[in-house]
Amino acid sequence: MSGTIRAGVLGAAAVLSLAVAGNAGALARFWDFLDFGAGVLALVSLSATVLWGLVATDRLLLRTGHRLIAQAVHRGTAVAGFGFLALHIWVKVAEGRTGPVAAAVPFTDGDQRLLIGLGTLAGYLFLAAAVTGAVRGSFAAKGRSHWWRAVHLCAYAAWGAALVHGLKSGRAAAWWATTAYALCLAGVAAVLVQRAYARLRRGAAAARATTAATSAADGRPRGPRGYRP
């Protein structure tokens, strides 16, 4: 019986606390925070997801254990990002800033067709990258890994679209926030270009090694385009 009384007292105290907080305007301020903060937290979390995804692939500075930690952070920030994204969409629809159809179908919003559409499109691309990342093992078969890479690369396009959506569709962002996102975007672009260049160099080196091995096996040097003197 005492446990029931204690639970009732705690429940009454909770209701009274909520009533006092509501009367003081705390709930309205909390809703205002969700109106602005949910989208910002989603963008920050998904930006961190992209950056930690790049960190997790580093093999020059990080050891295997470090890469596993980076991968865990990458997945954790992705889960947080999707949670904040769902909250952001719910708040905007509940406030009437956009409609459920525009939130689900890209480029159908009546007021901000392009900017809201970019946000919706970014959500779908992030979702595609997340789903393929979760079932990465099914792409491990020979000849199918390139499909996983192609779909997972959608995260970069989604991030770019989300940045434009977040910085332009709502309140004007502070200069330091815009600068920070611009620096992150430039850094990610630089890393991707460097990685593509390194991959091309490895491919060229492998081709030269194959040609040299074939020439050594034949005992005769090969000229350009397979010409044999």
The 10s digit of each residue's pLDDT in 141-184 is 656 677 777 788 888 889 989 989 988 887 777 787 788 788 87
**How is residue 192 written in tokens?**
């991707």
Read off the pTM: 0.72
Give the integer Cα–Cα distance in Å for 19 and 16. Answer: 5
Q: Is residue 203 part of a domain?
A: no
Structural domains counted in the chain: 1
The 10s digit of each residue's pLDDT in 23-42 is 555 566 777 777 888 888 88
DSSP labels, 105-138: STT--SS-HHHHHHHHHHHHHHHHHHHHHHTGGG
* pLDDT grade for 12, boundaries at 50, 70 and 90: low
Give the integer Cα–Cα distance in Å for 98 and 58. Answer: 40
Q: Is residue 3 part of a domain?
A: no
Q: Is residue 4 part of a domain?
A: no
Q: Is residue 99 part of a domain?
A: yes
Number of helices and strands in the chain (H, E): 8, 0
Q: Which domain holds residue 141?
A: 37-173
User: Greater confidence, 12 or 158?
Assistant: 158
Give the integer Cα–Cα distance in Å for 110 and 120. Answer: 14
Burial of 99 (0-12, 13-18, 19+ CB in 10 A): middle
Q: Is residue 79 part of a domain?
A: yes
